[in-house]
């Protein structure tokens, strides 16, 4: 039996391991002081995780709308190469090319808020174009998914701002991780010390469970 040291963990793994470690250690009065330190570090870490997740959700939605925007632009340019004989169809294609070229792929390189506005403006321009002469081309199918993705991004930004206001004084989880690791290893060490000085069935069982738990992450 050796003192437990934590392996390298991802933040999600660290959070889960901490929760399970506390379940094992909370009933042990001999290490109550160390358990309280872990709880305090865990609470701060969990708040930091909320901050990380808020940004992560926004980034994923931004990637989705970027992909849809690229698909729309590429489809319009591809349609330009088709030898349309109908004058109305050619006129619609020309209008679409002008609309997407007005913004182009540079939209994706804009700051989040500017990109949101630019996509709204592009969608407004596209709404003035009658796609009927291009019925069957599939170009119009890009519009609703792009509009939905942009609106979902707006909602995510609002939620992000709200969440950020609640955790604005909190560091991100990866910055808080070392403090939580120190607290956990301190709890393990205190349990080990008590086990060596005054072994009991409760301490033996708890330490064996902790060893098994930590080893499952190696």
Residue at 2 is within a domain: no
The whole-number pLDDT of residue 106 equals 84
Note down the domain range covering 51. Answer: 11-215
Residue at 34 is within a domain: yes
Nearest to 20 by CA among 44, 51, 50, 42: 42
Residue at 3 is within a domain: no
Burial 188-201 (b: 16+ CB within 10 A, else e): bebbbebbeeeeee
**Using one digit for the tens of pLDDT, what is the confidence trace for 89-121?**
999 999 999 999 998 778 888 888 899 999 999
**Residue 30 is inside which H or E element, if any?**
none
First-to-final CA distance of the chain: 17
81 φ, ψ to 5°? -85, -10
**Using one digit for the tens of pLDDT, what is the confidence trace for 9-63?**
988 899 999 999 999 999 999 999 999 999 999 988 887 776 655 555 677 888 9
The whole-number pLDDT of residue 6 equals 96
% of the chain exceeding 90 in pLDDT:
68
Residue at 91 is within a domain: yes
* Tally of domains in the chain: 1
The whole-number pLDDT of residue 176 equals 82
Q: Band the pLDDT of 162: cuts 50, 70, 90.
A: low
Residue at 202 is within a domain: yes
Residue at 6 is within a domain: no
């Amino acid at each position: 039996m050796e003192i437990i040291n934590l392996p390298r963990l991802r933040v999600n793994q660290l959070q889960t391991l901490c929760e399970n470690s506390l379940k094992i250690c909370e009933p042990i009065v001999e290490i109550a002081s160390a358990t309280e330190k872990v709880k305090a570090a865990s609470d701060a870490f969990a708040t930091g995780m909320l901050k990380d997740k808020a940004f992560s959700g926004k980034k994923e939605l931004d990637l989705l709308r970027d992909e849809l925007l690229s698909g729309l632009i590429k489809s319009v340019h591809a349609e330009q190469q088709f030898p349309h004989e109908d004058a109305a169809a050619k006129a619609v294609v020309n209008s679409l090319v002008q609309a997407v070229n007005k913004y182009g792929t540079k939209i994706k390189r804009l700051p989040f808020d500017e990109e949101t506005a630019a996509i709204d403006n592009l969608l407004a321009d596209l709404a003035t174009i009658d796609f009927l002469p291009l019925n069957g081309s599939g170009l119009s199918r890009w519009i609703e998914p792009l509009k939905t993705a942009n609106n979902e991004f707006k909602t995510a930004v609002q939620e992000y701002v709200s969440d950020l206001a609640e955790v604005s004084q909190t560091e991100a989880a990866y910055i808080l991780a070392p403090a939580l690791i120190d607290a956990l290893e301190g709890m393990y060490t205190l349990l080990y010390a008590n086990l060596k000085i005054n072994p009991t069935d409760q301490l033996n069982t708890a330490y064996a469970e902790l060893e098994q738990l930590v080893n499952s992450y190696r």
